Chain A
Amino acid sequence: MSQAVLGARVQRKEDARLVRGRGRYTDDIRLPGMLYAGVVRSPYAHARIRAIDTRALEKLDGVVRVYTGQDLKGRLGSIPTAWIPPDSDLKTVEHPALAYDKVRYVGDGVALVVATSRGVLEDALEAIRVDYEPLPAVYDQLAAMKQGAPQLHQDAPQNVALHWRAGTDTEDAFRRADVVVRRTFRQQRLIPNPMEPRCAVAQYDEATGELTVWATTQNPHIHRFLMANILGMPEHKLRVVAQDVGGGFGSKIACYPDEVLVGYAARDLRAPVKWTETRSEHFLVTTHGRDHVDEVELAGTKDGRILAVRVRAYANLGAYLSTAGPGVPTILFGLIVNGAYDIEAASSEVYGIFTNTTPVDAYRGAGRPEATYLIERMIDSYAREIGMDPVEVRRRNLVKKDQFPYTNPFGLTYDSGDYHQTLDLALKTLDYDALRQEQAALRQQGKYLGIGFSTYVEMCGLGPSQVAGAVGFQGGLWESALVRVHPTGKVTVFTGASPHGQGEETTFAQIVADRLGVPLDDIEVVHGDTDRISMGWGTYGSRTTAVGGGALALAADRVVAKAKRLAAHMLEVPEAAVEFEQGRFYPEGDRRRGVSLQEVTLQAYLAWNLPSDLEPGLEASAFYDPTNFTYPFGTHVAVVSVDAETGEVRLLRYLAVDDCGPVINPMIVEGQVHGGVVQGIGQALFEGARYDQDGQLLTASFLDYAMPKARSLPRLETLHTVTPSPHNPLGVKGVGETGTIASTPAVVNAVMDALSPLGITDLPMPLSPPVVWEAIQAARQSGGVS
């Protein structure tokens, strides 16, 4: 059985309910007497609030209560950030749940309205008149740092929220270099858009003083921890529950004002209160991702050896510091800008900047896509500069198999890998030489075909708690698991991770089924409830299987260990002489006699005849803290054609060769790779938030914000190599973000390769038809090449 279940293409257990509309999302909750809350939001990016006139509400039936920022000032704590990178001079500015003096981005909340129905609520939100005094606004991080730029916060001169550096000295390497390549890249702002917008329902029990908040969160325990502080209530009286959550991509990590306000209102009004985000609100107020301007320099020899890389990044953090906001462009970005390459010297310097825009936080990959984009684009730029095939440059610089564990210039220790193997497999699968010949032939006909590579590595499986502390994350990064075998042999598994679409109800059941030898259907995975799970740190940073799964494996092993002692007692043999296989305990070498785990469990609960030192019952918990991050890696290749007349980029092929260690469920891994790759393609070709000079978000709906669509995608090809990580009991590495991390530069490299006959070296993302077309027009006019 163990052979069958681990590594098997098991259908997702959760899909039975999800695909039939039987999922239970937060917005599905209906409670007797439930009220509806909504937020009056600023249409200005920067303005002083002169007055709020709520008189019109008196004419509306069903308005229960209005709270303004002034009403709540002093009653609610500031919304905090939970990541304070060391030595970064981080300005932890106040973030009130409702603005009381100034609004700082379009969408900033100024009042909360509670009503008896959503219809009344929306009428009421419109009826409130806010008198604003508009102030000059700034949406661009470089403009925000300039002298005389509008100031968002008194305590952050020139809008600098943080300044952080890491790495080694690079001067010497740059002096020795034959070639120095310099580029400035803009990595545009992205809007996560999970299928389910955010939602929160809160209910206060006057008798017990307990507040329950159901919320769309990736990490209910972190929410409880932060919200207890903001609301000023004891942590054990606050319960946070994440039921089914329809995707997050990082946007449901943060603790937002809205969920806190709902909790406050429910307690204050002694009535259940619901708030549901509209898609329009989602565009404006749920955290955005990326938004970097990066100055990068690469020093190399003319025969393709990279000597040093240095990066100066300007990260737009938005109007306030989001929960993980400061950690994303520093720790998760600046420590891995050398990528998968053995580069002696590297440094990063990061400015985090406040602007009149939606706060920026983690978005699938969080920092690592930004770092990977830089190094992968630089590799291709360098290759072009020295006239070498970009594959050859990669081959010469990738960390070699015998160098692991490899310590990079920032002190990270890459666990294990065979980077060249994924590259070789990709080249063979593609028939690379033939593809280059085809490209040359098409160029003769004036057609543009491009091939782009990304040989990435990333750090995930966040991560040892000691490191979390060292890098300023205000929490631990271990994970908890409890495996409970019920008297009949059925199993409930409790995990502190909080999967919300990644399929761990299935993969975790597979891990436990493998360890305990019980059928998959007998295992239920419970997650996302602070009352049912003692503690946990949630799901993000591709940590759930590596860390949460690790905890689970340990807990399951502890269950088996205890059962084994009882089995020995039942079989009347010494414990050392008991073997456990596929759910049955046997005396060593004797397969005729034996007891099943189920029989042992029943005896453990009956406790009629236990060894004198054995407690009744059968369950075990584990609090597992990994020894290091995990470092999945691989080679992604995009093949594109460019329609020079329209500027349209067509993806002809996309190949992903990934190594995430042993695969627990190939179908789920493929699904993660597919989704991730498509999100990265989205950044390369389609997505991008645009603001106008006054800080109005111009891409505030799907009419203007382009998500990748099935019609724009080829059939994705996925392959795997397997290099276990020595850092966790299962040897697994995260795979939730690799696709996003790898695909953006692969696609952009492919387009630049296609356009190289025109002398085009770089274009700003997204490489939309007009961007590409205008570049081709300009190149033809200036160079006359075609």
Chain B
Amino acid sequence: MELKGHRVIEASPDVCYRLLTDPDVLVRTMPGLKRMTAREDGTYEAEMEMGVAAIRGRYSGTLAIQDRVEGTSYRLVMDGQGPGGFVNVNLSVRFDAVPEGCDVSYDGEAKVGGTVAGVGQRMISGVASFIMNQFFSNIAKEAKQHVG
């Protein structure tokens, strides 16, 4: 499944970059992300509960922020496995300065396997975009606090 979108955040690219690479902020803002524990190699162990309302998949795995270009871009790689299947996300995230602040754009794909892939087709992309929207709304709020 393709994941692609962008959102203008009222904060500088540097602030946005910092927020979006800060594990504490990510756990606060990413719906379903329960825990991120840093490992020695710079990646994180992650616990996720992804979904909407009562429909949730539990995944545990790794989350890594790679190819970091401070204030400009990075790549988010997430591998989660759970009882009903797996979810792997590979996103490149860009931060571009715009008059209103920063245009955060993401482009990549999510691979989903198991029960969700098999029976959730009708809902899967709608749910993904809903979660991304929620995430960016939360980030926007965080950014306001930083600016304000």
The answer on A and B forming one complex is: yes
Q: When chains A and B are docked, how far (Å) is the Cα of A351 from the Cα of B119?
A: 32
Q: Which chain B residues in 25-75 approach chain A with CB under 8 Å?
A: none
Q: When chains A and B are docked, how far (Å) is the Cα of A283 from the Cα of B84?
A: 16
B118 within 8 A of A: yes
Q: Could you tell me if A694 and B111 are in contact, using CB atoms closer than 8 angstroms?
A: yes
**Which residues on the B side are within 8 Å of A126 (C-beta)?**
83-84
Which of A127, A284, A694 counts the most B-chain CB atoms under 10 A from its CB?
A694
**Which residues on the B side are within 8 Å of A699 (C-beta)?**
121
A723 within 8 A of B: no
Q: Could you tell me if A280 and B115 are in contact, using CB atoms closer than 8 angstroms?
A: yes
Closest residue of B by beta carbon distance from A127:
B83
Q: Which chain A residues in 18-53 approach chain B with CB under 8 Å?
A: 43-44
Partner of B119 from the list A134, A692, A694, A703 (CB cut-off 8 Å) is A703
Partner of A106 from the list B83, B113, B119 (CB cut-off 8 Å) is B113
Closest residue of A by beta carbon distance from B58:
A126
Known A43-B85, A126-B83; judge A698-B121 contact (CB<8 A).
Answer: yes
A571 within 8 A of B: no
A700 within 8 A of B: yes
Q: Could you tell me if A694 and B118 are in contact, using CB atoms closer than 8 angstroms?
A: no
Q: Could you tell me if B118 and A284 are in contact, using CB atoms closer than 8 angstroms?
A: yes
Known A699-B121, A703-B122; judge A44-B113 contact (CB<8 A).
Answer: yes
Q: Count of chain A residues with Cβ under 8 Å from any Cβ of B?
A: 20
A303 within 8 A of B: no
Q: Could you tell me if B83 and A696 are in contact, using CB atoms closer than 8 angstroms?
A: no
Closest residue of A by beta carbon distance from B83:
A126
B81 within 8 A of A: yes
**Which residues on the B side are within 8 Å of A43 (C-beta)?**
85-86, 113-114, 117
Shortest C-beta distance, A692 to chain B (Å), equals: 8
Q: When chains A and B are docked, how far (Å) is the Cα of A696 from the Cα of B84?
A: 14
Partner of B118 from the list A44, A127, A134, A696 (CB cut-off 8 Å) is A696
Q: Could you tell me if A129 and B113 are in contact, using CB atoms closer than 8 angstroms?
A: no
Known A43-B113, A106-B113, A696-B112; judge A283-B81 contact (CB<8 A).
Answer: no
Closest residue of A by beta carbon distance from B113:
A43
- Interface 0/1 of A185-227, CB less than 8 Å to B: 0000000000000000000000000000000000000000000
Q: Could you tell me if B119 and A696 are in contact, using CB atoms closer than 8 angstroms?
A: no
A260 within 8 A of B: no
**Which residues on the A side are within 8 Å of B122 (C-beta)?**
703-704
Q: Could you tell me if B115 and A698 are in contact, using CB atoms closer than 8 angstroms?
A: no
Closest residue of B by beta carbon distance from A283:
B118
**Which residues on the A side are within 8 Å of B81 (C-beta)?**
129
Known A43-B85, A126-B83; judge A701-B113 contact (CB<8 A).
Answer: no
Q: When chains A and B are docked, how far (Å) is the Cα of A703 from the Cα of B81?
A: 24
**Which residues on the A side are within 8 Å of B117 (C-beta)?**
43, 692, 696-698, 700
Which of B83, B114, B121, B122 counts the most A-chain CB atoms under 10 A from its CB?
B121
- Interface 0/1 of A644-668, CB less than 8 Å to B: 0000000000000000000000000
Q: When chains A and B are docked, how far (Å) is the Cα of A129 from the Cα of B61?
A: 12
**Which residues on the A side are within 8 Å of B112 (C-beta)?**
696
Q: Which chain A residues in 45-104 approach chain B with CB under 8 Å?
A: none
Q: Which chain A residues in 103-157 approach chain B with CB under 8 Å?
A: 106, 126-127, 129, 134
**Which residues on the A side are within 8 Å of B121 (C-beta)?**
698-699, 703-704
**Which residues on the A side are within 8 Å of B84 (C-beta)?**
126
**Which residues on the B side are within 8 Å of A704 (C-beta)?**
119, 121-122
Q: When chains A and B are docked, how far (Å) is the Cα of A698 from the Cα of B122?
A: 10
Q: When chains A and B are docked, how far (Å) is the Cα of A280 from the Cα of B114?
A: 10
Q: Which chain B residues in 74-88 approach chain A with CB under 8 Å?
A: 81, 83-86, 88
**Which residues on the B side are within 8 Å of A280 (C-beta)?**
115, 118-119
- Interface 0/1 of A688-713, CB less than 8 Å to B: 00001010111111011000000000
Q: Could you tell me if B83 and A697 are in contact, using CB atoms closer than 8 angstroms?
A: no
Q: When chains A and B are docked, how far (Å) is the Cα of A294 from the Cα of B112?
A: 31
Q: When chains A and B are docked, how far (Å) is the Cα of A43 from the Cα of B84?
A: 8
**Which residues on the A side are within 8 Å of B115 (C-beta)?**
280
Shortest C-beta distance, A128 to chain B (Å), equals: 9
Q: Could you tell me if A694 and B83 are in contact, using CB atoms closer than 8 angstroms?
A: no
Closest residue of B by beta carbon distance from A696:
B117
**Which residues on the A side are within 8 Å of B118 (C-beta)?**
280, 283-284, 696-698, 700-701
Which of B81, B86, B112, B118 counts the most A-chain CB atoms under 10 A from its CB?
B118
Closest residue of B by beta carbon distance from A702:
B119
Shortest C-beta distance, B76 to chain A (Å), equals: 18
Shortest C-beta distance, B106 to chain A (Å), equals: 20
- Interface 0/1 of B102-142, CB less than 8 Å to A: 00000000011111011101100000000000000000000
**Which residues on the A side are within 8 Å of B119 (C-beta)?**
280, 700-701, 703-704
Q: When chains A and B are docked, how far (Å) is the Cα of A703 from the Cα of B88?
A: 24
Closest residue of A by beta carbon distance from B81:
A129
Closest residue of B by beta carbon distance from A129:
B81
Q: When chains A and B are docked, how far (Å) is the Cα of A694 from the Cα of B86?
A: 13
Shortest C-beta distance, A111 to chain B (Å), equals: 14
Q: When chains A and B are docked, how far (Å) is the Cα of A703 from the Cα of B120?
A: 8
Shortest C-beta distance, A197 to chain B (Å), equals: 15
Q: When chains A and B are docked, how far (Å) is the Cα of A126 from the Cα of B88?
A: 19
Which of B83, B86, B112 counts the most A-chain CB atoms under 10 A from its CB?
B83
**Which residues on the B side are within 8 Å of A696 (C-beta)?**
111-113, 117-118
Shortest C-beta distance, A90 to chain B (Å), equals: 31
Closest residue of A by beta carbon distance from B117:
A696
Q: When chains A and B are docked, how far (Å) is the Cα of A697 from the Cα of B111?
A: 12
**Which residues on the A side are within 8 Å of B111 (C-beta)?**
694, 696
Q: When chains A and B are docked, how far (Å) is the Cα of A694 from the Cα of B114?
A: 12
**Which residues on the A side are within 8 Å of B114 (C-beta)?**
43
Shortest C-beta distance, B78 to chain A (Å), equals: 14
Which of A692, A696, A698, A703 counts the most B-chain CB atoms under 10 A from its CB?
A696
Mind listing 27 A-B residue pairs with CB under 8 Å? Answer: A43-B86, A43-B117, A44-B86, A44-B113, A126-B84, A127-B83, A129-B81, A134-B88, A280-B115, A280-B118, A280-B119, A692-B1, A694-B111, A694-B113, A696-B112, A696-B113, A696-B118, A697-B117, A697-B118, A698-B117, A698-B118, A698-B121, A700-B117, A700-B119, A701-B118, A703-B119, A703-B121
8 tightest A-B CB contacts, nearest first: A700-B118, A126-B83, A43-B113, A43-B114, A701-B119, A43-B85, A696-B117, A704-B121
Given contacts A43-B114, A701-B118, 17 further A-B contacts (CB under 8 A): A106-B113, A129-B81, A134-B88, A283-B118, A284-B118, A692-B1, A692-B117, A696-B111, A696-B117, A697-B117, A697-B118, A698-B117, A699-B121, A701-B119, A703-B122, A704-B119, A704-B121
